[in-house]
Structure 1
Amino acid sequence: MKTSSRRARILVGAKLGIPIAIGYIPIGIAFGVLASSLGLKIGIGVALSSILYAGASQFVGVGMMAAGASTLEIVMTTFILNFRHFIMSSSLSQRLPETIGKRFLSVLAFGVTDESFAVASVQPQRVLDPWSLLGLNTIAYLAWNSGTLMGLLLGDAIPPSLSASMGIALYAMFVGLLVPGLKNDLPMVTVTLTAIATSTLIFYLPLFSGLASGWRILIATLIAAAVGSKLLAKSAISDIGNRQNREA
């Protein structure tokens, strides 16, 4: 009975992740084609997607490999680009039950991506179901790796014009996931606009022109997270106050 309940909750999360999976497959194919064109073996390409599992870092990483960059340079660049995952995982952990073990938390943290974080963040319940989150992360992970394998196997069979156009699917998917969750949610709208404004300023201001893109993303994320934490805290206090007034 317990196993059946968990399976049902995993399926709930998997259904939420279907739009992500649809978007990840073409991008994974594009990565696989790129890796194949740069001479990477199928095993290495699959390992990058299954172990690293970080879209932007994978594209940058294979490019650096092809350019002859050192291992340290590749590792440091990947670390900077992915540092925001610490923030996203920490944010989600605050909405998970305190009874979850560290091993389960580690599995959930590994599967967090920008898109799965966006979907989980806009869920109405304050305490997230860890099994649903596992389902959400799993379907995205399988889609990304399936796309990568297809791209590696197809290789040069896909026209360059088609593989290049696949990259825009990531941005379209992210916007499609984010916008519905912003309806009637002023704190989330404010956080989103803060992130957009900060990212735009950092990109165009000469002061930050020497910063790597990973650091720019991190700075914008930290500022938006700081604004969001204050707004969401105020919202939570307001909800508690309203609930107490109704009970009184």
Structure 2
Amino acid sequence: MNNAISIDQKTESHFKKGLKIGIPVSIGYIPIAIAFGLLAKSAQVPDIVTLMMSLMIFAGASQFIGINLMAAGVAYWEIVFTTFLLNVRHFLMTASLSQRLPKKTSKKVLAILSFGVTDETFSVASTQQEKELRPTFLLGLNSITFVSWNIGTWIGVFIAVGLPTSIQSSMGIALYSMFIGLLVPSLKKSKETIVVVSIALFVSSLFYWVVPYVIQLSSGMQIICTTVIAASIGALMFPKEEMK
């Protein structure tokens, strides 16, 4: 009986830790989600479609691109294909996080956790000091960001339409501010992070300034290639012992 209570307390503790660590990300998500709701409203996308996108897709970049493509009258299959390419990086992120979860974690739990992984939650989770991440920790982290994204979408669709245009347009900068806020503390703590980020910046610059003269790649493919190259070099330079 005592063992069961102890396990429950540990589970609750890990979940609460995920919620607590996810607060800065969730705060940053709200203005971005509001901006998404406003964009969808201005594009005359039905409210139910906008709300269901945040509820079922939960991928900010894909949702913004999807709205723009809808407004441009692009065929549905092209929207699906474009957003698929943009989100291929999620295979890499979830595969990386799965290596730090207990081996006994069921596939159902992995599927639930993978749905909530975003660029920001991945950044937060992957920079945790613990070798092994608890599924309940990731669940707490993903849950608070998912809820805040949907709350922001509702605000954007039903409330924020009356805000001044200058305030509406300024919300997009929140994404960049949040990334900087997540990145800087990690740079202070980890030499490896500094090196990998520097490699990613260099590779991304090459794709932006040099590669277009040789071959045209979509922004989604540039992100994927940059991620793979920087992560591969980082893995070779800083190998980690496999967890048992």
TM range, smaller chain: over 0.9
User: Aligned partners of 1:118, 1:105: CA distance in 2, in Å?
Assistant: 18
Aligned AA (2:94):
S
Match of 2:92 in 1: 87
Residue by residue over 1:215-245, the C-alpha shift from the partner in whole angstroms, topping out at 9 and shown as x without a partner, is 0100000001101222331x549xxxxxxxx
Aligned AA (1:13):
G
Alignment of 1:31 with 2:36, yes or no, is yes
Match of 1:98 in 2: 103
Contact kept, 8 Å, 1:37 with 1:155, in 2: the verdict is no
Match of 2:181 in 1: 176
1:13 is matched with which residue: 1, 12, 18?
18
Aligned AA (1:115):
E
SS at structure 1 position matched to 2:142:
helix
Match of 1:121 in 2: 126
User: Aligned partners of 1:203, 1:209: CA distance in 2, in Å?
Assistant: 11
Matches for 1:1-248 after TM superposition, within 5 Å: 1=5, 2-154=7-159, 156-205=161-210, 206-207=212-213, 210-233=216-239, 236=241
State the TM-score, normalizing by the size of structure 2. 0.92
User: Aligned partners of 1:209, 1:162: CA distance in 2, in Å?
Assistant: 38
User: Aligned partners of 1:69, 1:160: CA distance in 2, in Å?
Assistant: 27
Unaligned runs of 5+ in 2: none
Aligned AA (2:115):
F
Contact kept, 8 Å, 1:25 with 1:147, in 2: the verdict is yes
Aligned AA (1:179):
V
Runs of 4+ deviating beyond 6 Å: none
Structure 1 residue 189 displacement after superposition: 1.2
- Count of residues in correspondence between the two structures: 236
Residue by residue over 1:1-47, the C-alpha shift from the partner in whole angstroms, topping out at 9 and shown as x without a partner, is 24443222111101000000110000000000111111112211111
SS at structure 1 position matched to 2:238:
helix
Contact kept, 8 Å, 1:33 with 1:154, in 2: the verdict is no
User: Aligned partners of 2:90, 2:63: CA distance in 1, in Å?
Assistant: 15
User: Aligned partners of 1:118, 1:208: CA distance in 2, in Å?
Assistant: 32
Identity %, equivalent residues: 46
User: Aligned partners of 1:63, 1:96: CA distance in 2, in Å?
Assistant: 37
Of 175-184 and 127-136, deviating more is: 175-184
Match of 1:241 in 2: none
Match of 1:245 in 2: none
SS at structure 2 position matched to 1:95:
coil
Aligned AA (2:42):
S
Structure 1 residue 208 displacement after superposition: 5.8
User: Aligned partners of 1:187, 1:8: CA distance in 2, in Å?
Assistant: 29
Cα separation, partners in 2 of 1:84 and 1:208, compared to 1, 3 Å: farther
User: Aligned partners of 1:131, 1:73: CA distance in 2, in Å?
Assistant: 36
